Structure 1
Amino acid sequence: MATDPHMVFLGFGKYARSDKIFALEPIRGEDRGEGRRTQVWVDGLGNPIIASRTERTILGDMGQERAAQSYLLDEALELAERLAKAAEAGRVDLGDLGRRARHLLEAATAAGAERPADPAESQPRLL
C-alpha cells in the first residue's frame, strides 16, 4: 500500500520525493561499492541519482513494504559482499565476522524478524 508523498533518504544527504521516483536499478559489478548501491531514477531529472542505500531499503522508505520485506536478505548479502572484499584484500577478522554473523542470525530468528522503523539507527553495520 502506497503512502502519501514524502521525502525518501537516499544516503549522503540526498533525498527524493517518493511519488517522483519511478525506477530503482541496483548497481552491479565493479561499479558497486563505496557509497554506490542503487541508481534512482527521478521524474524531471535526466540522469539517475546514485544512492548509497539498497533498492529494497529505498522501497521500504517509499511505503512499498511488500517489496522491501527481505531486509535481512539485504543484510546477509551485504555481509557476504564485504567478506569477499575483505578476503581478497587479506583483511579478514574471524572474531569480528563471527560476532556480526551471530547478530544477523539472532535478528533473523527474533519474533518474526520484523523490519525496524529505521534500520540505520537500530542495526549495527555488519562489517
Structure 2
Amino acid sequence: MEIRENYIVPLGYGKFVRSDKIIALEPIEDERGPGRRTKVYVEEVPYPITASRTENAIVSNIVETPRETLEAIAAFELLQDILDDIDKIGSMLRNSIKKEAGLDLGKIQKRIEEILGHQIGSEPS
C-alpha cells in the first residue's frame, strides 16, 4: 500500500489533515464518549487530535486500498459496534428479548466474537 500524498483526510468535527502528515493512529478504547474513536498523531502537532472516525476509516483515506478490502473493514467495524452494544444489555432485558422476539443475544454475541476472532488473525496488510 502506498500513502497518498497531499490528500486531505477528514477526521470528523470539521477537522482535516494531510494524509502524508499523519504519523500514527491510536484507537480510543477506554471511556469512549460519543464520536470519540481515534487519536491521530500529526507531524509538527504536539498533541494527538481526537477523531470521530475509526482508525480503519482513516487508513482507508490515507492509502490506496481495493474496494473489497474497504467493504470487509466496514463490515467488521459494524460487527464490533453491534458487539459493543449487545455487551451493554443486561440479563433481564436479554431474557425478555429472547422470550418476546425469540432473539438469543448471547448466541449472536458468541458468533460475532468468533467472526472477529478469525478476522484479527487474518487481517490484510
User: TM-score when scaled to structure 2?
Assistant: 0.62
User: Counterpart of 1:71?
Assistant: 74
* One-letter identity of the residue aligned with 1:80: L
Q: Matched residue of 2:33: which SS?
A: coil
User: Counterpart of 1:61?
Assistant: 61
Which ranges in structure 2 are unaligned for 5 or more consecutive residues?
109-125
TM-aligned CA deviation for residue 63 of structure 1: 1.8
User: Counterpart of 2:51?
Assistant: 51
- How far apart are the structure 1 equivalents of 2:55 and 2:18? 15
TM-aligned CA deviation for residue 57 of structure 1: 0.4
- How far apart are the structure 2 equivalents of 1:33 and 1:83? 17
TM-aligned CA deviation for residue 81 of structure 1: 1.2
TM-aligned CA deviation for residue 35 of structure 1: 1.3
Contact preservation (8 Å) 2:4, 2:20? no
- How far apart are the structure 2 equivalents of 1:23 and 1:52? 15
Cα distance, 1:72–1:46 mapped onto 2, change above 3 Å: same
TM-aligned CA deviation for residue 10 of structure 1: 0.6
Q: Matched residue of 1:80: which SS?
A: helix
- How far apart are the structure 1 equivalents of 2:4 and 2:87? 37
Which ranges in structure 1 are unaligned for 5 or more consecutive residues?
102-127
Q: Matched residue of 1:70: which SS?
A: helix
Runs of 4+ in 1 over 4 A off after TM superposition: 66-69
User: Counterpart of 2:12?
Assistant: 11
| Superposed CA offset, 1:5-42 (max 9, x none) | 21101111111110100100011122x23111100000
Q: How many percent identity over aligned positions?
A: 37
TM-aligned CA deviation for residue 64 of structure 1: 4.8
TM-aligned CA deviation for residue 75 of structure 1: 1.3
Larger Cα Rg: Structure 1 or Structure 2? Answer: 2
Q: Matched residue of 1:35: which SS?
A: coil
User: Counterpart of 2:117?
Assistant: none
| Superposed CA offset, 1:60-116 (max 9, x none) | 01125278652211111012112323x15x888x67x9xxx9xxxxxxxxxxxxxxx
User: Counterpart of 2:38?
Assistant: 38
